[in-house]
Amino acid sequence: MDFRYSGMVETLTESKKYMTTMRWVMVLINMIVASRTETDGYDGRHLVLPFASSLLPAIDPNDMTKTLTALSCLCIVISYINVVDCSSLSDTIEDETKREICHGTGGFDDFVVQLLDRVFTLIENRAHENTRMADSRIANSVNMEDISLQRIIWAVFRPLATHSSSAICKIAVDKIVSFALSHTLETDVSGRLFSAICQAYAVSRPDIILPKLLPKLCASVEHL
């Protein structure tokens, strides 16, 4: 199998074509991740991080259909992998394919940081967009989008928190805590979306996020 991910997302600007392509990817992703050279003649694991990274530009506040599709695909990808940086061990591995895969995991921390940046921008833009909505029918439609977005954000970050190494999880938590303390979010839209991320880490890695977040939140409440 020759899985050509390069340029696939960037060249698809129409939401319908993008969604069709992503549906096929969702069907194939398990096969790609599970493939091994010994049995299948190729190892698709080295494609996972480049493909996941190529989805990030599709998280676009101006195109919710594309955004929800990209996040849904990321949810599936993340559920199949361990987000662990093994690059320091790559020199000890003799098999060239496995060494390449191991070396590639060094990009996981950057991927998580970029994913959070994209989602934070999305959250901020959703708040701004909804404050401008006047027509009740449009508002109801947007509300359904926000409900779907909240669910998919949880679905992405729950396995990400669960499957990440402690080192990568700490990097993510530092960004989450920094965002929480530096932004004031309204409770109807952006606050709910951001809370989905916090809940995902609080459920999966309470040992990492709670000691960093709770004392600072309590201190900020005391100063009110």
* Confidence (pLDDT) at 134: 47
d(CA 46, CA 213): 35
pLDDT, mean of each 10-residue run, the chain (224 residues)? 48 63 75 71 78 90 89 90 89 82 90 97 77 50 81 96 96 95 86 95 96 87 72
**DSSP one-letter code for 164:** B
Helix axis angle for 136-163 and 166-182, nearest 10°, is 150
* Confidence (pLDDT) at 136: 52
* Confidence (pLDDT) at 131: 47
Per-domain residue ranges of the chain: 15-222
d(CA 221, CA 54): 40
* Confidence (pLDDT) at 75: 92
* Confidence (pLDDT) at 13: 56
* Confidence (pLDDT) at 51: 86
Please answer whether residues 70 and 22 qualify as being in contact, where contact means their C-beta atoms are separated by less than 8 angstroms: yes
* Confidence (pLDDT) at 135: 52
d(CA 92, CA 103): 11
Tokens of 65: 């259909």
Beta partners for residue 164, in sequence order:
83
